[in-house]
Amino acid sequence: MHAYANPARFLKIARPLTPILGWGGAALVLIGVYAGLFMTPPDYLQGESVRILYIHVPAAWLGMGGWTGIAIASIIQLVWRHPLAGVSARAIAVPGALFTALCLVTGSIWGRPTWGTWWEWDGRMTSMLVLLFLYFGYIALANSSEEKGSVSRVTAIFGLVGAVNIPIINRSVVWWNSLHQGPSITLKGSSISSELLWPLGFTVMGFTLLFGAIVLMRMRAQLAEIRTEARMRRMASE
Amino acid sequence: MKPKHQRLGLAVAGLFAMVGSGLLAMTALKDQAAYFYAPADLKTASVKPGEAIRLGGMVVANSIKRDPDGVTIRFQVSDGKATTNVRFTGIVPDLFKENSGMVGEGSLSSDGTFVADNILAKHDERYMPPQLEGKMHKTETMAQ
């Protein structure tokens, strides 16, 4: 792992990887969205509004996966003091918040015709909203960190503590009576019929690759900023 | 002991403490954080008539009756263990139907009927094209 502690080495891999992830992800998302809009049949009960699933599910996964990534990066920063851990955690926070917001918005749009309400304070929706606020808090804390590029220890601890919410979101529909339906895709299989399910694989994979590309771009920008600043300081002292 | 191991131990201990306290808090919250009461919960929980609650369950087959005024409906909600009578005046969501999940906001009247002010349809976790309906989809219990 420490082989990539050297930013130059990291950049050598990140630079060619960014367009691969970005364009690959965009292509998969386009295929998945086209298939989800035009090729799959409507649902027997929800009708056409089922199609929002192809955006809502990847958004939920990336919102939660993003914070899991922040938590892992926080541990690595706190324990191993890896120089890129803080940079990556900071890079994840903004797209993570974006996808969490996207999940809440698409869920709300789906909820109106299906449940008959835009918003209800049930366990799943409330815990997901808490996740969005955790992201806002994390971004604010990271921006107030003294460390250039990386994040402060307090921010890393916050990233770790916030991870408690992730299993709560996941289990919220199982532990409590909730308006949100239970999990459709479990280890036992899927209760989404395969005709409706297949484009979801494309959009989940596609958005995940796009997320990776955004994180790499943000990390590179962050590292470039550190370099510029160091160079400016050197020039000023000469 | 290297400082790295010390930090690792501290982080792991902290993580366990956090997850443990989170789980404890959530189990303590269990009933309070429930979004609705199921009909069987109504029997055990001491819900006073007039108290604002939500009731959720499956709409019993052939139980929806329309009053002569045209806007009031009466039906039964079941969770497989108990059944509650519900009265509602207003417009229900499109997905509200018999053998499907629902959540109602309202209160119990003195005779034990749940008077709903608002009704939401609860969708279950099954998704399928229309032609498969009936073949696979047989909702008998609350999808939980």
Q: Which residue of B has its CA nearest to A51?
A: B127
Please judge whether B35 and A176 are an interchain contact, meaning their C-beta atoms are less than 8 angstroms apart: yes
Q: What is the spatial distance between Cα A181 and Cα A184, in angstroms, rounded to a whole number?
A: 8
Please list every residue in chain A whose beta carbon sits closer than 8 Å to the beta carbon of residue B95: 45-46, 114-116
Give domain limits for chain A. Answer: 27-39+47-179+196-237
Q: What is the pLDDT of residue A2?
A: 62
What's B91's DSSP letter? P
Distance in angstroms (rounded) separating the CA atoms of residues A1 and A22: 24
Q: Which of B8, B30, B96 sits opposite A175 (nearest CB)?
A: B30
Give the pLDDT confidence of B98-131 residue by residue, as tens digits: 888 899 999 998 888 999 999 999 888 888 877 6
The answer to whether the Cα torsion of B49, B102, B67, B118 is positive or negative is: positive
User: Which site among B59, B97, B126, B127 would you substitute to test the A interface, given the most A Cβ atoms closer than 10 Å to its Cβ?
Assistant: B127
Question: What does the pLDDT look like over B38-70, one tens digit per residue?
Answer: 888 887 877 888 888 999 999 998 888 888 888
Q: Work out the number of other CB atoms within 10 angstroms of the CB of residue B81.
A: 12
Share of chain A above pLDDT 90, in %: 58
Q: What is the mean pLDDT of chain A?
A: 90
Residues 1-60 of B with CB under 8 A from A: 4, 7-8, 11, 14-15, 18-19, 22, 26, 30, 33-38, 56
Residue A56 near residue A99, CB atoms below 8 Å: no
Residues from chain A that touch B144, judged by Cβ atoms under 8 A, are 174, 177, 182
CA distance A22 to A101: 21
Q: Could you tell me which chain B residue has the CA closest to the CA of A45? A: B95
Nearest to A66 by CA among A88, A34, A38: A88
A133 touches chain B (CB under 8 A): no
Tell me if A176 and B122 make a contact (CB, 8 A cut-off): no
What's residue B133's pLDDT?
58
Residue A168 has pLDDT above 80, yes or no: yes
Mutate to test the interface with B, among A39, A40, A44, A170 (most CBs of B within 10 A): A44
pLDDT grade, residue A156 (50/70/90)? very high
Q: Do B125 and A183 touch (CB under 8 A)?
A: yes
pLDDT at B144 over 50: no
Residue B141 has pLDDT above 60, yes or no: no
**What pLDDT, in 10s, does the model give residues A34-86?**
999 999 988 888 888 899 999 999 999 999 999 999 999 999 999 888 889 99
Model ipTM value: 0.76
pLDDT of residue A66: 97
Contact yes or no for A29/A207 (Cβ under 8 A): yes
Which chain A residue lies closest to B91 (C-alpha atoms)?
A116
- Give residue A207's pLDDT band: very low, low, confident or very high (50, 70, 90): very high
Reported pTM: 0.87
Report the DSSP beta bridge partners of residue B108: B114
Q: According to the model, what pLDDT value does residue A111 have? A: 92
Of B66 and A97, which is predicted with more confidence?
A: A97
CB contact under 8 A, A46 and B124: no
User: Is B34's CB within 8 Å of A46's CB?
Assistant: no
Please, which residues have CB within 8 angstroms of residue B6's CB and are 6 or more apart in sequence?
A: none
Classify burial at A5, counting beta carbons within 10 Å of its beta carbon; exposed 0-12, middle 13-18, buried 19 or more.
middle
Q: Is A168 in CB contact (< 8 Å) with chain B?
A: yes
Spatial contact of B73 and B64, defined as CB atoms under 8 Å apart: yes
Q: Please determine, for residue B136, whether its predicted confidence score (pLDDT) is greater than 70.
A: no
